[in-house]
A and B are shown apart, each in its own frame.
Chain A
């Protein structure tokens, strides 16, 4: 049981380049999230998904797009990278409890460190 995995672990991009970050979870969780972590700013939610085929904007969605074509995968895309997108990106997932209520614990992946030059 790998939990939440992220690829790649590290990437360097030039301004204007595009890339996709992949998040995969093997816990059959319904909900998945993308955060960015910057020094002194904690974790900020970029986009999230409540199920396969559905996505929603978080706190800082500009410059990013996401897709959830399969329940276990959540992709984060940068169409035209900017230096301001240099950050550590974390994916997380959570599940719905037996009673139907959202279980609040978020399970995080190990992160992707992105440097945009």
Chain B
């Protein structure tokens, strides 16, 4: 019920290609779905996020596609660049901290390598 399943574990893409990372969740109470980007030796940083009232959100080369009925969401990186090489984590959260129902669950991560 609490899991967020992320795939693939690793991904190699040619420069200019499209990188696609998928996540699936079980808890229908989740209401916020962020993606974090982490470079080696650094902490994760928010890349893009979506709420379930929209099916797609785009910011530059990064797009989140959200399928509420399938309980799945994905990250698309268009025109992938070597500088995008990093580990990407999806997450899902629900509830407010003060109500005691807070959950912020991360996927297991996808290591992306973009070849020059």
Contacts and interface: CB of A to CB of B under 8 A. Distances in A.
A110 interface: yes
Contact of B106 (A44, A48, A104, A105): A44
Contact of B108 (A42, A56, A92, A106): A42
Nearest to B33: A104
Given A90-B44, A111-B43, A42 B109 contact: yes
A102 B44 contact: no
A50 B106 contact: no
A41 interface: yes
Interface string B66-100: 00000000000000000000000100010011101
Contacts of B49: 104-105
A42 B89 contact: yes
Most buried by B among A31, A41, A104, A107: A104
Contacts of A109: 43
Contacts, number: 55
B41 interface: yes
A115 interface: no
B54 interface: no
A108 B43 contact: yes
Contacts of A41: 108
A83 B45 CA distance: 28
B108 A40 contact: yes
B44 A105 contact: no
Nearest to A101: B96
A111 B25 CA distance: 27
10 contacts: A35-B106, A40-B9, A42-B107, A48-B97, A90-B44, A105-B34, A105-B49, A108-B43, A108-B44, A111-B42
Given A44-B106, A90-B43, A110-B41, 9 more contacts: A42-B89, A43-B89, A48-B102, A50-B97, A101-B96, A104-B93, A107-B46, A108-B45, A110-B42
